Amino acid sequence: MFKAVRGAAPSYGIVTEWVYDTIPAPQTTVTFTFDLPAFPDANSFVSAFKAFQSFVLNAPNEMAMAFAFGASSKTALSVTLQGNYFGTQDAFNSLVQPLLAQFPGTQQNVHSYTNWTDVLIFNAQGSPLQTVLPDKVCRTLGCTASSETSLSLTTSLPKYVWSSVVVRH
């Protein structure tokens, strides 16, 4: 605070309250990973990035997508598009078809879920889901729950998704 008052002028802010609200989980969520074919030169990579930008600028709010790239060899770049679509599989297919048509040979990993927990497990990419009860809440409420208490959830997920998750309370 001292440094902010001393030199930041109007370039600082102090959060005194944070209010948020939750919304119901969507009835259907489509998770996806698209591994685009390797791009052998900068021009083809730039074209792919421009296609991605054009797509996301016009995508609906129900679409969440990340663009990741890296070297697939000494002379080529690989691109992965990954995310969630909060809607039906048919609506998702219609939405992404024009984008994927620009990249023949794209490897697709697409799953539709009707259980929100399954979506969280998929998005965790192998890490356990955890929620730790903050110490301050326990001190305030006088609870005796330990943050070390764990609960194992076993779900009926396909083999490519983890069969066991640890949730901490």
Number of domains in the chain: 2
Question: Which of 85, 167, 91, 61 is closest to 124 using CA atoms?
Answer: 167
CATH number of the domain enclosing 84: 3.40.462.20
Beta bridge partners of 66: 82
42 & 97 share domain? yes
Residue 46, domain extent: 29-114
* pLDDT of the residue at 155: 37
86 & 160 share domain? no
Question: Which of 63, 69, 60 is closest to 31 using CA atoms?
Answer: 63
105 & 154 share domain? no
78 & 37 share domain? yes
43 pLDDT more than 80: yes
pLDDT in tens, 101-139: 999 999 999 999 998 888 888 888 878 877 665 455 555
